[in-house]
Homo-oligomer: A and B are copies of this chain.
């Protein structure tokens, strides 16, 4: 499967971030056609104490082609525009393929 990952650094206001993320942003993202699964991970620390990262969201698609098709939909564009509006300064995106050893 193809995985689109959004990795967020620590937001200035964690409560405000969570409230917006779970109540407004995630529901927008979940509407993207072709999205197979979405996993949100709260980063709760690191071996050295607080992590520089706060949250990771993994969005799964059948393959890269399916992701590219999905990316052109109004739903994906709305989600993308939304994430940049509230987290543009702290988010990094990665394209990934899970390795089956």
**Contacting pair B98 A44 (CB below 8 A):** no
Interface of A is mostly: strand
4 tightest A-B CB contacts, nearest first: A41-B96, A40-B99, A45-B95, A43-B94
**Contacting pair A41 B101 (CB below 8 A):** no
A interface with B by C-beta (< 8 Å): 3, 5, 22, 26, 39-47, 51-53, 56, 64, 92-99, 101
Could you show 21 A-B contacts with beta carbons less than 8 Å apart?
A5-B56, A39-B98, A40-B98, A40-B99, A40-B101, A41-B97, A41-B98, A42-B99, A43-B94, A44-B95, A44-B97, A45-B94, A45-B95, A47-B93, A47-B95, A51-B92, A51-B94, A52-B92, A53-B92, A56-B94, A56-B96
